[in-house]
Amino acid sequence: MKRKYFVKIDLDSIEKNKDAGKTISYFLRRQTIYFETNQELPDYFKDGENCYITEQCWTPDGQVKIRGVINSDELLRICEEKKPNIKYEFERDIDCIYHAPIPEYSYNFENIEIRCVTCNKRIFLSDLNFDCVEDNFSSTICPECSKWDCCELEYETIENALIRKNNHPIKMTELADKFRKA
Ligand SMILES: [Zn+2]
């Protein structure tokens, strides 16, 4: 028969999330450096290597207009040094990710020891494997004998853990009161 284990939350690991309830996060991707000039590019601009020319045209009075993207930190460094007559524009790309609301608390479970129903070996919770084959899923695969669902786990809810955590200091005060009265 499969043994059932109750997995408690590690009370010391509970942390209140400052971004609780948030459903959008932003990630800074990379920086794109655009350049523009109305002169011929210096020879250290190598199209297709350290830069990409995206637009090149001539105005009716014969003046060149070049736009492009700088593709190398080294080229940027040279430009800082030589100061060619070029205008730059820095643009940061930001990704916006929509996700499920961030829960109010984050926490870990206690890494208890269990026994596999088949091989009877003692295994730490963190050593259990998980796998998914077609529609079947198991997060309790024995690392020793590969038995799927090698134990049954019931996880403590955060609500319950918070009650336990909050009760702790009260008990200590009660003890202190008793001590004083005695
Ligand atoms: Zn096993």
pLDDT confidence tier of residue 70, bands split at 50, 70 and 90 = very high
pLDDT confidence tier of residue 94, bands split at 50, 70 and 90 = confident
How many angstroms does the Cα of residue 116 sit away from the middle of ligand 1?
5
Give domain limits for the chain.
Answer: 4-18+107-181, 24-98
How many angstroms does the Cα of residue 31 sit away from the middle of ligand 1?
51
pLDDT confidence tier of residue 31, bands split at 50, 70 and 90 = confident
Residue 87's DSSP bridge partners are: 36
Instruction: Say what the pTM is.
Output: 0.55
Alpha-carbon gap, residue 127 to 165, rounded angstroms = 27
How many angstroms does the Cα of residue 121 sit away from the middle of ligand 1?
6
Contact criterion met (CB below 8 Å) for 115 and 123:
yes
The answer, yes or no, to whether residue 27 has pLDDT greater than 90, is no
The answer, yes or no, to whether residue 133 has pLDDT greater than 70, is yes
pLDDT confidence tier of residue 182, bands split at 50, 70 and 90 = low
**Residue tagged 């090149």 (tokens):** 56
How many angstroms does the Cα of residue 8 sit away from the middle of ligand 1?
22
Question: CA 152, 154, 157: angle at the middle one, nearest 5?
Answer: 165
How many angstroms does the Cα of residue 158 sit away from the middle of ligand 1?
29
Which range of 21-30, 71-80, 140-149 scores highest in mean pLDDT? It is 140-149
Alpha carbon 135 to its chain's center: 27
pLDDT confidence tier of residue 96, bands split at 50, 70 and 90 = confident
The answer, yes or no, to whether residue 132 has pLDDT greater than 60, is yes
What's the distance, Cα to Cα, between the start and end of the chain in Å?
Answer: 50
How many angstroms does the Cα of residue 20 sit away from the middle of ligand 1?
39
Q: Which residues contact 107 (CB under 8 A, 6 or more apart)?
A: 9, 10, 13, 14, 15, 158, 161
Q: What is the pLDDT of residues 155-169, one digit of tens each?
A: 999 999 999 998 865
Q: From 149, 173, 178, 167, select the one nearest 4 (Cα to Cα).
A: 149
